[in-house]
Amino acid sequence: MTEKRTCLQAELSSPGAQASVELLITHGVGLHARPSVLFTRLAKSFPCTIEIEVNRSGLWLSAKSIVKVMGARIRKGSTLRIRASGLRAEEAIRGLEALFANDFGEVQDPAGEASHVRGA
């Protein structure tokens, strides 16, 4: 689903820890409703600040807000930068990155369309 570049700084347990990743969205429909909900739900599970930027717009949005994530209209071919700062920042970036790498649990049918069925 994505290509990536990762930048991790400081230590995992440090209150000033920062981490970021840049992902190229390759999923056919981009970050639609169900993946956006999974993304924000996971982001909310971390105590750190997590923000996203789409296509290097310079506008950073809260990754914990479904309204902001859905409003960003993250389409196929978009570049999504995710940054986290604070406690467990590195862990948050790794978790969100894994969500993309696993295609949000969607299984592709032979035509390449997501079937919205969770994988094993």
Are the C-beta atoms of 84 and 18 separated by less than 8 Å? yes
**pLDDT digits (tens), the chain, 120 positions:** 445 554 444 344 456 799 999 999 987 888 889 999 999 999 999 999 999 999 999 999 999 999 999 999 999 999 999 999 999 999 999 999 999 988 887 765 555 555 333 333
Question: What is residue 9's predicted lDDT score, i.e. its pLDDT?
Answer: 42
CA–CA dist 105, 115 (Å, integer): 10
- 3 state SS of 71: helix
* Residue 13, pLDDT score: 45
Query: Per DSSP, what are the bridge partners of residue 52?
Result: 61, 82
The secondary element (H helix, E strand) that includes residue 19 is: strand 18-25
Q: What CATH architecture is 2-105? A: 2-Layer Sandwich (3.30)
